[in-house]
Amino acid sequence: MLLLFLIRPDYLVMWGFLLLIPFLLLTKRKTQLLNLLLAAVIGFSWMLIGGNQYGYNHSMLKLLGFNSFPLFAWPLGLFAVYLIVSRLGIKHPFNRILVYCLVFWSLLLSAETIAYHVLFIRNIATAAYAGLPICDCLHAPHWMQAAYLLMGPIFSLLSEALRKIRLRLSLNL
């Protein structure tokens, strides 16, 4: 968290995401690269849909016409929650999905609240919209708020499907 006061948020999430690849390779977690790729596909897909809704009160790097902060923050966040939940050793798929969603929503709302109220990172492109009650975060149209809250469950469901495919492939080999 302290790094956000020292390094621009867009650079921090971009380098965090890019350094994950050699980290996973060096720590012999090559199978996790598929989950990182899945998170990146979901994050990029979101940017294709809602990317024009981002305009921050801080300078942010643009890549391929997209704001780099959400472009890298979404995959990084989705994958980080995946790693946290996978360390819990939950066996049943439904329970993994449920725990993933609860952790994702808790961290998403916490991060958004801290970014808005403590770090003063504001999306001025959607500033006219009301935030969620209690936390006063996610100032965006309702469809965008829904997308934020649904991205975690979508990733978790697709990750479980990927897990089943990998398991079936390993049993057939």
Number of structural domains the chain divides into: 1
69 pLDDT more than 80: yes
Question: What pLDDT shows up at residue 173?
Answer: 56
Q: How confident is the model at residue 166 (pLDDT cuts 50, 70, 90)?
A: confident
Q: Supply the range of the domain harboring residue 155.
A: 3-172
Average pLDDT of the residues of the chain: 92
Q: Which two tokens stand for residue 173?
A: 């080999």
Q: How confident is the model at residue 138 (pLDDT cuts 50, 70, 90)?
A: very high
What pTM was computed for the model?
0.91
% of residues, the chain, pLDDT over 90: 79
> 24 near 148, Cβ under 8 Å?
no
Question: What pLDDT shows up at residue 167?
Answer: 84
Q: How far is CA 23 from CA 41, 52, 164, in A?
A: 19, 32, 24
Q: How far is CA 37 from CA 45, 69, 99, 162, in A?
A: 12, 17, 21, 11
